[in-house]
Structure 1
């Protein structure tokens, strides 16, 4: 399997980073594109440097490199994850703007009918955001808001990050035994 991971400039870059860390434990080939603001967010929100994040992927590309192999449908991939996905990136993908390698690659993934998973990050959502996401869903993209779960009783922020990363990779049939799964209300709380 070959997956593209994009990190845009929305808050939550750590989710994309965790996805890359988990994919390192597999034999899946990873290709990474980080937007200009994604780089800023990584440095601001995490203890990682951009170089350290790029080293988590098998291949990394400049967001400015519109001639990269990812920009062509002849480069075969199984799908793309954008984590996090800013509303700017969602708008760009929806309009087919392809103004950088991240949005161009998402455009290619859509046109080739491969799975595009967008971990949307914004709150609250306005009508423009909702319309853009609705249209992308109609085009075949999976809109995957970065919402935490509480049924698994997270003990810290890492538990929440892990859960989001595991659920994201579930969409590609990639599972990890460490993932906490819903087992029904009786098994989740013995006092009910």
Structure 2
């Protein structure tokens, strides 16, 4: 399908940091918002997904089976979700002439931050991020680590100065979360806002239903 049939295209990468729930929920919300998603999964990300969630991906390194599984699970339209392998150097995200305007790495491991910061480009996730930086396109990194070492902090500062946005998986509590899903949705809502995708997961500060609004009543 042509891009015009979708509202926009976003590259979503998931690496081996804890927090697979954030990436999967973001994928679900993007697809529901009629966004075409080019998905990149590291080997470690697939292990973490199977460990942390009830989303048990097909094994044996079958990218087509994983793509079909996720498309069915999250109700993707035909052509809306495409999973690219880690060595698919001919994929659109590997070149500035084909990559979309926005890329999110959620969650982003410390190793991934390091590789991107030094321009390693040893796999498609690192290359796609390198393309986003060199083309001055939107790159959002969602680290999920605690505590941060000096190495992590230096890499995040370096990437921020290059033009990337570091948006840690640090949910707020002013919306008075009651479930694990509420905490996940807080971070995903912030990501959707940054991507310019309409979301109803979290009222903005001062809107009806927010703590700020309730305090004025």
TM class by shorter chain equals: over 0.9
What residue number does 1:85 align with?
A: 108
Q: Runs of 5+ in structure 1 lacking a partner?
A: none
Structure 1 range deviating more: 56-65 or 112-121: 56-65
> What do you get for the CA RMSD once the two structures are aligned?
1.8
Consecutive unaligned residues of structure 2, counting only runs of 5 or more, are: 1-7, 58-65, 75-79
Q: Which TM-score applies when normalising by structure 1? A: 0.92
Q: Which moved more, 1:173-182 or 1:130-139?
A: 173-182
Determine whether 1:160 maps to 2:183.
yes
In the TM superposition, residue 105 of structure 1 has moved relative to its aligned partner by 0.5
Deviations for 1:165-187, whole angstroms, at most 9, x for unmatched residues? 11111001112134233227653
Matched, 1:142 2:165: yes
Establish whether residue 25 from structure 1 lines up as the match of residue 46 from structure 2. Answer: no
The 3 A distance-change label for structure 1 pair 162 and 185 is closer
How many aligned residue pairs are there?
A: 191
Stretch deviating more after TM superposition (154-163 or 45-54) = 45-54
2:132 equivalent in structure 1: 109
Q: Is the contact made by 2:186 and 2:201 (CA closer than 8 Å) also made in structure 1?
A: no
Cα deviation for residue 36 of structure 1 reads: 1.1
Q: TM-score of the superposition, structure 2-length normalised?
A: 0.82
* One of 50, 53, 69 as aligned partner of 2:70: 53
Residue in 2 aligned with 1:187?
Answer: 213
CA distance in 2: counterparts of 1:122 and 1:38, whole angstroms: 15
Q: Does 1:125 align with 2:148?
A: yes
- Deviation string, structure 1 residues 25-53 (Cα, Å, up to 9, x no partner): 12221100001111110111111123233
- Does 1:8 pair with 2:15? yes
CA contact (8 A) 1:84 1:118 kept: yes
Match of 2:61 in 1: none
User: How many Å apart are 1:54 and its aligned residue?
Assistant: 6.1
